[in-house]
Structure formats: C-alpha cells, structure tokens
C-alpha cells in the first residue's frame, strides 16, 4: 500500500501547477445558501483533492482508520510554530 501511495504522489507531483486552481482566488457569495456555497466552491476549485494554496500544491488523501484531517492540520500547525 505504501508503495502505491508513493507512486501516486510521484505521478501527481509532475503535474503542471498551471493546471491547478489556487484556493486563494476562490470567491464565494456569503449571501447564498450553504448548499449553493458548497456547489460554487466545487465548481471553482474543480478538484477539491488537489489544488494550490499560494505556490504550494495541496494533495488531500484519506486513509481508512487514519488520523482525521483536523488532527493532521493541528499537528502540522504546531510543528510549524515550534
């Protein structure tokens, strides 16, 4: 399984950044309903599992019985602040 994920990441890392949407450029009308805002986000981001945040490529992956996304972000932020 680890090898497959590694191979997948190598393949994805060669993707041209110009093909990805920068999440910083997404604008959502806050006056719309939650459902409409979600639809608009997906329409603009195109691929919610792979996008840019500034110059950084973000890959979102999930594993069965793994750490939650929230826990992973908390860990990352704590390590960046240390």
Domain range list for the chain? 16-81
CA dihedral 18, 61, 36, 34 (to 10 degrees): -130
- pLDDT tens for 17-54 read 889 999 999 999 999 999 999 999 999 999 988 999 99
CA distance 13 to 17: 9
Tell me what the mean pLDDT of segment 41-69 comes to. Answer: 88
From residue 63, give the alpha-carbon distance in Å to each of 1, 2, 9, 31, 34: 11, 11, 14, 35, 27
SS3 75: helix
Determine the distance from the C-alpha atom of residue 39 to the mean position of all C-alpha atoms in its chain, rounded to a whole number: 16
The answer to pTM > 0.75 is: no
């Amino acid at each position: 399984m680890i090898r497959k994920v590694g191979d997948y990441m190598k393949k994805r890392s060669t993707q041209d950044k110009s093909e990805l949407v920068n999440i910083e450029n997404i604008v959502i009308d806050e006056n719309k309903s939650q459902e409409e805002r979600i639809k608009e986000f997906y329409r603009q981001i195109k691929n919610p599992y792979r996008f840019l945040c500034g110059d950084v490529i973000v890959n979102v992956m999930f594993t069965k019985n793994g750490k939650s996304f929230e826990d992973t972000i908390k860990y990352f932020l704590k390590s960046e602040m240390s």
